[in-house]
Structure 1
Amino acid sequence: MTEPSEGAFEAALAPGTQLPVGRYRLDLATGQWAWSDEIFLMHGFAPGEVVPTTALMLSHKHPEDRDRVDGVLEQAAATGAPFSSVHRVRDAHGKIRTLAVTGQGRPDPDTGDIVELFGYFVDVTGANEDIAQREATAAIQASAERRASIEQAKGVLMVGLGLDPDAAFERLRTASNHLNVPVRDLATWLVEWFRRPGVTTFPSREELVEFLAAPVPPTHVDPPDAATLPGERTGPDVD
């Protein structure tokens, strides 16, 4: 399981976002918490069903987040400085929720010691899931685009070199290993080179072989009427 995303906290603060928010106070001397009804619900309890204590809070924190969150609270208790954190809890029904907590310390007016922490809990579970879904969708889209480039590059090699699909991919893979360039990058470069502005004829076998031996990234591809051949480098790129 991955750690909660800090982006969920930013999403919770976005205009128009309506997420459950609850207030809390923590008495540092007794370890007793005061929760608004929303925080009871975030932990899977009916309002007032349990007495909120630090021990109860710890029992519900996700094990992977517990030490980190405890460190944030200890620092806040020592300094009183404003803080924020995102962590996971397992509520009373076993559901994993992602909560953002923000707050600050209140000093004793006589001693200056921090005697209380107060602030808000925000249930960002939905926002965190939305972010995860968007990230997954983006990853799938990027993977599809890489596959598309490889398939297009295979098509160019199949036509230009007279290869079947497997042999075309093997030609890409061999060039990739020789050049120490990922297959997806080499395929993208080949497609971009093939599609460069002004191209009106299919590249010859010699040009394709030459390109695979010395591919040029898209930013270095010269227009087809330039003096250099497809695989040559010019200017500062020449060794």
Structure 2
Amino acid sequence: MPAPAPGETDGAPAAAQHQESVGGFRFWFVGQRWEWSDEVARMHGYEPGEVEPTTELLMSHKHPDDRAHVQDLLDYALHSGESFSSRHRFLDTSGAIHNVIVVADRMFDESGTVVGTSGYYIDLTDTLAETTQEILDETLPELFQARAVIEQAKGVLMLIYRINADQAFRVLRWRSQETNTKLRALATQLVAELDTIPSSAPATQSHFDHLLLTVHERIPSERPSRRAANGPDGRS
């Protein structure tokens, strides 16, 4: 997966970045060097460029009840070369609690060597509260047509990340917008590739993260209908 550069939206529509609920990061294993996007900085209560992110700084923001869990995952990533992914809580500089998912994939250098992990913070604190009607207006026809497969995909997200149904839909909608992919197609391909995920933890989540971040690349292109290809009257 191409690493999201801090501050870049990677071509995502503005709606996908609303309220700065999604932000990118990079973590290099050697030297434990971090980069984070402006959105991630603001999630933590800092202005862009105000602080240099470090492991110590990030760990100091983790909720006390989640800190040991995150540290264990980070240690695992450093020793295994796998991505660093998590569902946890952190406190911003004002003391407000954020519920986030960190979805990440391995980061490679030019020779193909794993050098770190890169991905996204998804802040689920507000879930769909402010945008429920907007999202329903945009997706209701598609939801009626493909409710079953979308519900399946939501169920998988709920299980893997331990989130509720609204939060799972938010993640699917984010990937749909970020990749300019139809929600139904994304959900269908995601469900179709679930058998590629190993059942042994902790590899399950890191492999699922990779699947979630790359599944849009393997969705078959929609072929134009004969009428569309040949013209309004069906003739070439």
Give the shorter-chain TM-score range: 0.3 to 0.5
TM-score (norm 1): 0.42
Task: Please tell me whether Structure 1 or Structure 2 has the larger radius of gyration of its CA atoms.
Answer: 1
TM-score (norm 2): 0.43
